[in-house]
Every structure is written in structure tokens, then in C-alpha cells.
Amino acid sequence: MRTFTLAFLLLPLPGWCQGPANALLWRIEGQGLPEPSYVVGTVHSKDARAFRQVPQLLGVMQGRNAIAGEIDLTTGPPVTHLMADRLMLPAGKELGDFFTAKELRQVHKALGAKMGPMAMMADRMKPFFLMAFLTEATMKADSSMVLDQYLQVKAKEMGKEVLGLETVEEQLAAVDALPLQDQADMLYQTVRSGQDEKMMDRFLDAYAAQDLGRLAKLVAKGNMPELMGEKLLKDRNRVMANRMDSLMRGGRTILFAIGAAHLPSGGGVLDLLRGMGYQATPMLEPHPAGVEGKH
């Protein structure tokens, strides 16, 4: 089973109407914290462009007690065999139930080209996960690990604690809250557009440049249903911000590494943390390793 996290789905998400300062890494201070924690926006990708900020992040990580991702990716396959059925459609349902015959042929063709042997299971899988596999298949594999997992593995090698802000069950529940027809409509839109690779290249170029303004414009071109945006982004933003607050108040200094779509204004984690009384400052220049102090 492939690594599961909603961070891998680089789809247009609402809430990116305003681009904050051009920075992916933010220092979090205030509320009596003796030392700052940090939030960095990541992408669930093996493309080399996703890794350009790694030296800066490793330097920051050296001075923190822990790293917290959306989920802990270091403890083995996040989706166990017992949970694998959650990726599948309900009994009696097949992918063809949500498409016309012509649409289904287009979807099958795209899945066969991108998923290889996995395409044999496509007719029984929920459209959301098929969309995620298609998205992942458009990315280059310059690294053996996606960025999120790489940072967590490096943290463990440094002797740091690795935490998850969500559980796999919570992420699966967020997907289950989305109507299957809405999922199918988004899958077909992805297949029909035929722009996946070009869009992903533009997205990763903007990410490598830490250009959140450009990222905002790219993702604003999408048309995700409102309910999907609520369940996959806004609801999860609130959960993650509250758990960040609890962890920081517990005395640990942490590098929070979460999907970049969770950062911008309009209900993003940075705004939510500010609403709790924290200061969020963009780190516009890389810091040499170790300058933040070691714990």
C-alpha cells in the first residue's frame, strides 16, 4: 500500500485568494513560548524541486525538539490491510455507476496509462483515491522518499521526536464525508483537462521559488466543490491549529511540516494561530544550520 496522506493531493483548493509573503517557512512566537516553533508548507512529492529548501529546514530542525507532520510517516504503512477497504467503494458500487459510458472509457484510458497494474482495482476504488494516484503519477521521482517523509526520517536520525497532527482514521473520515459523485466529477475533470503534468510543473516551479502568490493563482484556477474544500482544508486547518497550540503550550519546540495549501490566509493555519495570540513571521532568508540553538 502506498504512503497515504492528504498532502499528496496537489489539487486546486479554495482559501488561496490571497498570497502571503513569499515564504514557505514561518517562525511562530508569543503566548509565553520561551523558544520559537516553526511551520513549513510542504508538498508530498519526490521531485527535486520540492527539496530545495531542505538545507534550511534541516538547520531549523536541529534546534527543535520534534517535527510534526500531518501524520507520522515513519511508523510503517499508514493504511493497514484492515483499513485498506476504506479506499474501496461500498459493496454493490462500481466506478461505472458515476460516469457515462464515454466518460468511463476516458477515465479507464487515463488510469491504465498512469497506474499500471494498479488499474485492475480501479473499478472498485473511490474516485478520490484514483485522482490522488493520477496526480502522484505525474510527478518526477528524483528521490526515494516524498519530502514529508524525508524530513521525518532525518528528524529521527537526529534523535528528534516525530509526531502526527492527525490520525489516518481522521484523514480517511474527511474523504468519506465527500459525496462519491463529487469525487467522480473531480476525477473526470482531472482526466479531461489533460493538463496534469503541465500544471504540476508550474506548481512545483512556484513551490521551489517559494512564490506563494503564484501558487495562489495556480490553485485558484480549480473548481473544487465547496463541501470538499470545507472537509479537506478548512475543517482540518482548525484541527491542526488547535493541536499545534496544545503541543507548543506543552513546552516542546517543534517544526510543523504540513501541506502548503494549509498555510495561506482565508482560514489557513497561520491566520488561526494569529487568532490565538501567536506571531507568525515569514523566514525570507535561509538560516545557516545550527543558528537557532540546539536542545
pLDDT for the residue numbered 219: 64
pLDDT at 147: 94
Q: How confident is the model at residue 221 (pLDDT cuts 50, 70, 90)?
A: low
Q: Look at residue 120 and tell me if it is in a domain.
A: no
Decide: 166 and 74 in contact? Cβ < 8 Å.
Answer: no
pLDDT tens digits for range 257-277:
999 888 876 788 999 999 999
Q: Which three cell numbers stand for residue 283?
A: 523566514
Per DSSP, the residues of 93-142 read --GGGGS-HHHHHHHHHHHHHHHGGGGGGGGGB-HHHHHHHHHHHTS-B-
Which of 46, 263, 257, 247 has its CA nearest to residue 135? 46
Residue 13 has pLDDT above 70, yes or no: no
Residue 52 belongs to some domain of the structure: yes
pLDDT of 220 over the 90 cut? no
- Strand 254-259 with 66-69, pairing: parallel
Residue 1 has pLDDT above 50, yes or no: no
Residue 253 burial (C-beta neighbours within 10 Å; 0-12, 13-18, 19+): buried
248 domain-assigned: yes
Query: Which range marks the domain in which residue 153 is found?
Result: 16-86+141-179+196-282
* Residue 48 located in a structural domain: yes
- What does the pLDDT look like over 143-182, one tens digit per residue? 889 999 999 999 999 999 999 999 988 988 989 999 999 9
Assess if residue 233 is contained within a domain. yes
* Number of domains the chain is built from: 1
